[in-house]
Structure 1
Amino acid sequence: MSKRIFITGGTGFIGQKLAKSLANEGHEVVALIRSKSKAKDLQHERISFVEGDLFSKEALHEGMEGCNEVYHLAAFASVWAKDDTFERVNINGTLNILDIAKERGVKKTLVTSTAGVIGPAVDGPVNEDTPRKVDFFTPYESSKYESELKIKEYVQNGQHVVIVNPTRVYGPGPLNVSNSVTKLVKQYIEGKWKFIPGDGMSTGNYVYVEDVINGHKLAMQNGRAGERYLLGGEDATYYELFDTIAEIGGKKHKLYNMPLGAMLAFGKIQLFMAEKFGRQPMITPGWVRKYNYEWRVSSEKAKKELGYEITPLKNGIEETVNWLFK
C-alpha cells in the first residue's frame, strides 16, 4: 500500500538512496531540502520537495502534512564546529522534527543515530545494551547520545519513535564526509593512500550502504518504539580491510604505519588552528584517540527483531570497486 513519507537528510549519502528506494516502491516521498540546487541528484517522479531546514517550522508542517511516516536522517556530522552547531542541529533539530510529527499525527518516526554513541568494544563486541565505558571522543557522538535520551522521553509520552545506529558505512554514492570509507577505497586502489593508523590492528565495523537502507525500512516496519538497532556489517582490522581492497583491486600497495603519537600531535595542531583561525581541521585529538580502541559490533538484535541481513565485506567492497571504476 502506498504511503506518504517525509524524509530529512534526503540529499545525503544514505538519505538519497533511501528516498529513491521508497519512491521506487511506489510511495510518495516528500524531502526536506535546503535548496533545489542541492537536490539535483534526488529527482524522481514520486519525490517532491519542501525547502527549508530543521528549524523552518512552516516547511516542516507543510512537508509532514498527511504523512504516515517520517525518516529523520539530517545531522551535523563534521569533525569540528566553532560554535554550538552539534547541539543545535543534532539535538534541537531532532526535537523540532518530533514535535511537529506529533502535531501532524505521524504514526511512526525513525531517527538515524550512530553506533559511536555506544562506544568502543572494551569487553567484546558491543550491542544495543552495552553500557558506555569511556568518555565520548567527539561532540558528534555526545550530541547524538543526548538526542537519544531526549527521544526516549518522547516515547514515554506515547510517540512511536525508533532509532537506528549504523556503523562505518561504505558503498556507491557521493564521496563526501559520510562516505569516507569509499573515498579510502578509491585512493588506495589509485595508489594515493599511503598510511595505516597505528599498528593497523584496530578493528572497525564496516557496513554496506544497501544493508543500511534495508535496515532503515525494516526498523520502520518492525522496530519497537523506544528501541535502538545497530545496523552493522563485518568487523575488520585496518590490515584486513586494506588486504580485501587490494585483492579486489588487483594490486597491493605499500602502506606506512602512522604512530598514534604523531597523529595526536597533528590533531592538536589542527584543533589549535581551527580554534584560533576558524579553519576546518582534517582531524582532531578526539578522533585520533578512537584508534586506541576496538570497535567490534553485534547486529544480532536487528537480525532477530527486524530481519536485517549483512552483506559480507568482500562482496560489498567488490560492488563498491565495480561502481568506482566502471
Structure 2
Amino acid sequence: MKIFMTGATGYIGRLLAQKLAEQGHTIHALCRSTSQTQDLQHPNIQFFEGDLLKPESLDKAMASCEQAYHLAAFAKVFTKRPELHDEINVEGTLNVLAAAKKAGVQRTVFTSTGGVFGYSSPGNPVNEDTPRNIDFFNHYERTKTEAEEKIRELAAKGQDIVIVNPTRVYGPGLLSESNAATRLMQLYYKGKWKMSPGDGTKLGNYVFVNDVVDGHILAMEKGRAGERYIIGGINASYKELFDTLGKFAPKKLKLINAPVWLMLTVANFELAKAKLFGMKPLITPKYAQKYTYHWGLSSAKAEKELGYKITSLDDGIRQTIEWLAALEKNEAQTAEA
C-alpha cells in the first residue's frame, strides 16, 4: 500500500515511517529538504520535497496514495513569528486534507496533542469528551484545537479523518526540541538534572514512543471517522517520574523542589531577556503556570476501541535508559576513533 506522510523526519514520524516501511508499505514522505533524510533510509521510503503551504507539492507527493498520516506541525512554545502556528498547524492541515480528498485517499490520521485538553483533578483523568477548563498556554495548543475543529467539520461532510492525541512522549529516537521528556531523562542519566517542578506532586501523562507509533497505526486500522483518541500512557507525579528514573539511571539524584513562584520569577526574567535580545527563553511565564495543575489523561477509549496497549513507566524508562547508555557508549567510541 502507498501511504503519504508528513513529519517523517521528526521524532514520532521517523519511527512510524520505518515501521510501516518494514511492514512492506511504500511511504511517500513529504519533507522540506531531502538533506534532512540521511538517518531515515529504507528502500520503501520515497522522499518528496514540498511544503504544507504549497498545495501543488502535496498533490504530487500524495498521488496514488491510499492512506495519509499528517504529523508535521509547528510546535515551538516561543517564536518571534507566532503566525507560523496558524499558517502551518491550521492552514497547512487544511491543505493536506484538501489534497487527500482530491487524491482519493481513503483515510487520514491527524496527529494532534494531549495539550488541547484542560487540567484534571486527582483520580479523575481527562478523556476525549472533557471540555477544556482553562485558557491556552501557547499558540501550539490553540492552533491544534482549531485544526481539530476544522477536521470535525470536514468529517461531518463525509471525509474519513481520525484524530490522535499523544501525551508526553518519551523513549529512544531523535533528541529534538519536540522530544523534551527524553531530553530531561538524558540530563538525569548524565547526573545534570537538579530540580523537581513545584512540590513534585502534580501529575502528567507519560507515554512510551513505541506505543504512540502503534496507536497511529491502530487509529488508521480501527478508528472511527471524526473521532479523536488519546494515545497516552501512565499518569505519574514528578516524584514518581524521578523515582523511576532513579531506579534505572547510574545514580539516583537528590533533587531540589523548585517552587512555582520561583519558576515564574525566572520565567518573567527569561521572557524579558528573549524580547530584548531575541534569545529563546528557557521557560515562559505561561508555561511555568502549568506546574500548578494536574494533567492526568485517560486512554480508555483507545484501549477499548483500538486495542491500544500501554507500556508501564518502569519498562518504558528502563528501555530509554538502556538506549541512552548505548548512545553514550557509541559517542565515546566515535570520539576515540
TM exceeding 0.5: yes
Separation (CA, whole Å) in 1 of partners of 2:107 and 2:275: 40
The residue type paired with residue 121 of structure 1 is S
> Pairwise CA RMSD of aligned residues?
1.1
* Matched residue, 1:87: 86
Separation (CA, whole Å) in 2 of partners of 1:277 and 1:155: 44
> Is 1:59 paired with 2:34?
no
Separation (CA, whole Å) in 2 of partners of 1:227 and 1:155: 9
* Matched residue, 1:175: 175
Counterpart secondary structure, 2:178? helix
Q: How does 1:90-109 map to 2 (within 5 A)?
A: 90-109=89-108
Separation (CA, whole Å) in 1 of partners of 2:121 and 2:202: 12
The residue type paired with residue 104 of structure 2 is G
* Matched residue, 1:301: 301
CA offsets 1:51-97 (integer angstroms, 9 cap, x no match): 01211222210110000001000001112122211111111110110
The residue type paired with residue 119 of structure 2 is P
Separation (CA, whole Å) in 1 of partners of 2:151 and 2:282: 31
The Cα of 1:283 is off from its aligned counterpart by: 1.4
Contact 2:53–2:87 under 8 Å retained in 1:
no
Report the number of matched residues: 324
Contact 2:187–2:193 under 8 Å retained in 1:
yes
Separation (CA, whole Å) in 2 of partners of 1:275 and 1:190: 32
Structure 1's unaligned 5+ residue stretches are: none
Structure 2's unaligned 5+ residue stretches are: 327-337
* Matched residue, 2:322: 322
The residue type paired with residue 14 of structure 1 is I
Q: Greater shift after overlay, 79-88 or 237-246?
A: 79-88
The Cα of 1:299 is off from its aligned counterpart by: 0.4
The Cα of 1:168 is off from its aligned counterpart by: 0.3
CA offsets 1:192-237 (integer angstroms, 9 cap, x no match): 1101111111111100000000000000111111100000101111
Separation (CA, whole Å) in 1 of partners of 2:138 and 2:48: 32
Separation (CA, whole Å) in 1 of partners of 2:157 and 2:23: 32
Separation (CA, whole Å) in 2 of partners of 1:273 and 1:105: 49
* Matched residue, 1:209: 209
Contact 2:108–2:161 under 8 Å retained in 1:
yes
* Matched residue, 1:255: 255
* Matched residue, 1:144: 144
| % identity of equivalent residues | 53
The residue type paired with residue 107 of structure 2 is K
Separation (CA, whole Å) in 2 of partners of 1:249 and 1:122: 30
* Matched residue, 2:154: 154
* Matched residue, 1:11: 9
Counterpart secondary structure, 2:37? helix
* Matched residue, 1:111: 110
Counterpart secondary structure, 1:236? strand
